[in-house]
Amino acid sequence: MKRAVLLLAAVIVVMAGARQARADIVLFSDLQNGISNSSVFNTAAEAFQFTATNSGTATNAELALQFVSGTDIVNISLFADNSNTRGSSLGSAIAAVTTTGTPTLSTLTNVSFTGQNIQLVSGTAYWLQIAPAESSTINWYQINTITDSNFFSSGTGYVTAHRGAFQIDDQPLASVPEPTSFALCGLGAIAFLGGYGWRRRKQMTAVVVAPIIS
């Protein structure tokens, strides 16, 4: 019986371990510097250059955006860097900006890049861009406590400016075993317990019917 209990415990540990997700990785963030009251008024596409601080898959981004007028939908894109200008597009997604007051760390606009396999490499420069709908105004709140970074606006071209506040994360999904894995574990446990029970019954029967030698 002790062996059966140990087997079941091992199966449970394996399944529980498979369900554990690895820790989130922050690929870039300037939110720790605080969000200022200064902002960029967006009526055109605008992008900031940044350098990844960790390597990983960009699954989502959080931005300090404020909806002002027009349509609250924005297109958020990641670009490779090309000599301090925007290079090739790495991926994009649509997000709704629901914050109408000053954005805080608890009211950031979140956009998901899940499924696009956007790989960022530590120490490499990239660009994050937002593009509001036509005739819409979206404020991108900035970080005034850091040096200016390269900035692009479809209205003014490439200049330098205080970077908008944002964070890019690698948030992996939990690793869950496939149904076949559960089935195999279950069949293994059943087979072991069945065989163990059969041997126990056989031993008990042998004890009962064993002849008594005087």
User: In this predicted structure, which of 37-51, 54-68, 113-127 has the lowest mean pLDDT?
Assistant: 37-51
**Predicted model pTM:** 0.71
Give domain status of residue 53, yes or no: yes
Is the same domain home to 195 and 127?
no
* Three-state DSSP class for residue 179: helix
pLDDT tens profile 123-158: 999 999 999 887 888 999 987 777 789 999 988 899
Task: Report the CATH number at residue 66.
Answer: 2.60.120
The answer to whether residue 90 scores a pLDDT higher than 50 is yes
Specify whether the CB–CB gap between 136 and 65 falls below 8 A.
no
34 with 73, same domain: the answer is yes
Residue 205, in any domain of the structure: no
Residue range 155-174, pLDDT digits in tens: 889 999 888 899 999 987 65
pLDDT category of residue 32 using cuts at 50, 70 and 90: confident
Residue 214 lies in a domain: no
Candidates 137, 134, 113; CA nearest to 58 is 113
pLDDT at 116 over 60: yes
Domain range spanning residue 6? 2-20+175-200
Closest Cα partner for 168 from 31, 38, 34? 31
Is 195 found in the same domain as 92? no
One domain, residues 6 and 99: no
Q: How far is CA 111 from CA 3, 77, 94, in A?
A: 50, 10, 7
Q: Is 147 exposed, middle or buried (0-12, 13-18, 19+ CB in 10 A)?
A: exposed
Please state, as a whole number, how many other Cβ atoms lie within 10 Å of the Cβ of residue 148. Answer: 13
Which SS3 state, helix, strand or coil, does residue 191 take? helix
Q: Do 93 and 61 have their domain in common?
A: yes
Q: Rg of the chain's alpha carbons, rounded to an integer?
A: 29
Please check whether residues 15 and 53 belong to one and the same domain. no
